[in-house]
Amino acid sequence: MQQMLAALTDADRLEVYNQLKAEYGIHPMEAHLKLTSDEILSALQKMKEQNGMPWRMLRGSLADLVYGVVVLPGLNGWSDVSFNGDMPYDYLLRSDAGEEVTVQIKLQRSEAGQPLEAKKNLGKDMFVVETQRTRGGKKGEKKTRPYRFGDFDLLAVSMFPSTGRWETYMYTVAKWLLPHPSEEGCLNTFQPVAKTPNADWTDSLEQAIEWLKSGQQKTITISTGPPSQQKLDL
DNA sequence: ATGAGTATAATACAGTCGCA
DNA sequence: TGCGACTGTATTATACTCAT
């Protein structure tokens, strides 16, 4: 077969490619949008070059959606419960025993295309995640841009910006996150994320669920690293 | 009851401003 | 002047209010 193809002219090879693609390769999304995959990808390329909101949004949505496709199917004893309506969490998981856990997915914060390193107020050798909604609204007098403690159980941070792999996430218990200094009951806008698993952050969803079920109360630590470097910057 | 208009939700990074 | 906090941005869908 390879020899057969190699014997064809370039024009014929393209013809074969196009015919086979028409026969087998139409993704439902291509049919739905009435665009070829190449046209869709070219449009996305343009979106990336504009580097505006739509591109950022797409990346954030990918971190969310890929989670349901790549991570959750491998989780034993829990199922991904679909729901409708606007919820402050992205996933609702239900165990075989009927326990429910909610998960909010966020993309690790980048700046100028590079993973953002925490400044000293968020700790040394930490990455950053932004725990506020993209746009703000108001419900009465209350701002709806920040998340509130209790909005979701676990925070999953997609580490794609630093690992280059969509299937890598770091988890912590939402109640352990830093509180906002002025907005009562809200999460701080920025949170430090450990680069490697520690007592606050884990790369295992099962571990995070255990932490949650343990009911342990604490706040994530700002500083990591060897004790010699744990001196507080006062 | 229905249409118009408004508010708010979801998605992340960049720009600006105030303060030390 | 550099850090950190805050706000602005594109887009679409839906829910709600208010007037006819």
Digitized pLDDT (tens) for each residue of chain A, 234 residues in all: 888 888 999 999 999 988 988 888 788 778 877 888 888 888 888 888 877 788 888 888 888 888 888 888 888 888 888 776 667 788 888 988 889 998 888 888 888 777 887 776 777 788 888 888 877 666 666 677 888 888 889 999 988 888 888 888 999 999 898 888 777 788 888 888 888 898 889 999 999 999 999 988 888 877 644 443 333 333
Domains held by chain A: number: 2
Predicted pLDDT at A172:
92
Residues 115-154 of chain A within 7 A of strand B, judged by CB, are 130, 132-139, 144-145
- CB A83 under 7 Å to nucleic chain B: no
Determine if the pTM surpasses 0.85: no
Three-state SS string over chain A comes to CHHHHHCCCHHHHHHHHHHHHHHHCCCHHHHHHCCCHHHHHHHHHHHHHHCCHHHHHHHHHHHHHHHHHHHHHHCCCEEEECCCCCCCCCEEEEECCCCEEEEEEEEECEECCEECECCHHHCCCEEEEECECCCCCEECCEECCECECCCCCEEEEECHHHHCCCCCEEEEEHHHCCECCCCCCEECCEEEEECCCCCCCECCHHHHHHHHHHCCCCCCCCCCCCHHHCCCCC
- Residues A169/A203, Cβ–Cβ less than 8 Å: yes
**Which of strand C's nucleotides are less than 7 A from any protein C-beta?**
3-11, 15
In a domain, A68, yes or no: yes
Whether A45 and A74 map to the same domain: the answer is no
* Residue A156, C-beta contacts closer than 8 angstroms, at least 6 positions apart: A67, A103, A104, A105, A106, A169, A170, A171, A205, A208
Q: How far is the CA of A67 from the C1' of C18 (A)?
A: 42
Q: How far is the CA of A19 from the C1' of B3 (A)?
A: 49
Whether A145 and A35 map to the same domain: the answer is no
Question: The tokens 């002219």 sit on which residue?
Answer: A9
Query: Containing domain of residue A26, as a range?
Result: 1-50
Whether A65 and A43 map to the same domain: the answer is no
- The rounded distance, in Å, linking the Cα atoms of A157 and A220 is 15
Predicted pLDDT at A13:
92
Whether A204 and A178 map to the same domain: the answer is yes
Whether A167 and A95 map to the same domain: the answer is yes
- Residues A212/A176, Cβ–Cβ less than 8 Å: no
Predicted pLDDT at A229:
38
- The rounded distance, in Å, linking the Cα atoms of A46 and A116 is 25
Whether A194 and A126 map to the same domain: the answer is yes
In a domain, A223, yes or no: no
Give Cα A231 to chain centroid, integer Å.
Answer: 32
In a domain, A232, yes or no: no
Whether A94 and A207 map to the same domain: the answer is yes
In a domain, A233, yes or no: no
In a domain, A227, yes or no: no
Whether A66 and A180 map to the same domain: the answer is yes
